[in-house]
Amino acid sequence: MYRNFIRPILFKFDAERAHNLAIWALKSNILKYPKIANYDSLKVTICDIEFDNPIAMAAGFDKNAEVISGLFKFGFGSIESGTVTPKPQLGNAKPRIFRLEQDKAIINRLGFNNVGIEKFLQNIQSQKINGPFGINIGKNKDQKDLASDYTNLMDLVYGLSSYVTINISSPNTKNLRDIQKKSELDVFLQKIVTKKLESITMEEMLEMAGQGAKVVQIRAVEFANKFQVPVRVLSSFEDGNGTLISLKEENMENALISGIAFKKDQTKFTLHGVEDTPGIAFKILGPVNDKDISVDVIVQNISVNGKTDFTFTVDSEDAEQVKSILESKQSGLAYKDLLIDADIAKVSVVGAGMRSHAGIASKAFETLSNESINIQVISTSEIKLTLVIEDKYLELAVKCLHKAFNLEK
């Protein structure tokens, strides 16, 4: 019926009008829906989300979340609506959808046309959602700050869907694809997924900045701390009180943990079977320090028969130089093996409340254990717990720790 009747009729219209007709038909409930059979063999679980089958309706079809219920009746394993932006926008000039009939394909240059987040959310509330549902978010063309639209949208949609897709692939939005550069992407994502704090202590901010939180340059925090100057971090693009970096602990009871910081591109060095003698740490790290290489997590194990293991981490960009230094000193250090692991990352839990509250480390360990994430190295200070884990689990670790310590949006 579709090939011989419906398709020829739809192809008499231009592509965008045909698309709008399909949306109208789903909204009007005039279609006859097929009988859906679910098979256990087709079920799949991704990120703890259970799908009846792996066939999904991608974002772009139901841009304004108008026909979620209707699409689920066709048996899709999941529906993703959007891309939605904070304000309504018309998108690019028409025509902007083009059929490639011989290739059975279509090209669209819509440009994030949508009704805006307010109407989008109203549409969601009016529908019955019978399966995994995703929301795809984007920025308005006239927004100069690349991150603020996404941050504001995340605040509004978080918890209303099974997942959120952050759309930074549109070639129709100026400079949007610049975010895909690795250095830009890390900063961008951290801005979006990090909960804004009303205040944080100078000590906490020093720890956060030192462990990879790319919010304030660590030297700026060091100078402010040295001269006892409180700092307020504000946005250049929107009004608000921002975050106060204070000189003393305030409201500590309300926030045991201020944030989760992480560092990728780390390399772990372990000198196995090194002599456990006075000054061994200096003999190992002194030559490294002489080359102005920063060393972070440092752990020396207990001695067994006069031998010990000595472990530390450095930025991966310094790894080759550190390796060369240690190999050149092997005879003097008398280690048995030099173990190098470049597939690691560090995740740190930071909060002044750790001073006076027990169980925070245990909670972090339990959280990662529940996700089968092995902790390779543990380092602590009064207000910081740093865990070295396999880098492929970094995103999962940050996500579940945020949830465990109530740092989500």
Q: Are 79 and 71 in contact (CB under 8 A)?
A: yes
User: Which of 170, 258, 331, 369 does the annotation list as catalytic?
Assistant: 170
C-alpha dihedral (224, 230, 233, 234), degrees to nearest 10: -130
Q: Which of 79, 177, 77 shows the shortest CA–CA distance to 123?
A: 79
C-alpha 395 chain-centroid distance: 6
**Beta bridge pairs of residue 270:** 311, 339
CA dist list (Å): 189 to 100, 162, 199, 227, 302: 36, 19, 21, 32, 40
Structure tokens at 108: 């669209």
Q: Are 112 and 85 in contact (CB under 8 A)?
A: yes
C-alpha 221/C-alpha 233 separation (Å) is 11
Element (H, E) at 262: strand 259-275
Task: Centre a 10 Å sphere on the Cβ of residue 185 and count the other Cβ atoms it contains.
Answer: 13
DSSP line for 146-193: TTHHHHHHHHHHTTSSSEEEE----TTSTTGGGGGSHHHHHHHHHHHH
Read off the amino acid at residue 363: K
Cβ contacts of 234-243, under 8 Å, gap ≥ 24: 235/145, 235/148, 236/145, 237/144, 237/145, 237/148, 238/145, 238/148, 241/198, 243/196, 243/197, 243/198, 243/199, 243/200
Q: Are 34 and 1 in contact (CB under 8 A)?
A: no
C-alpha 302/C-alpha 20 separation (Å) is 70
Q: Are 193 and 201 in contact (CB under 8 A)?
A: no
C-alpha 389/C-alpha 204 separation (Å) is 22
Full strand arrangement of the beta sheet holding 199-201: 199-201, 243-246, 231-233
Would you call 126 a catalytic residue per the annotation? no
C-alpha dihedral (87, 242, 150, 118), degrees to nearest 10: -30
List residues with catalytic annotation.
Answer: 170
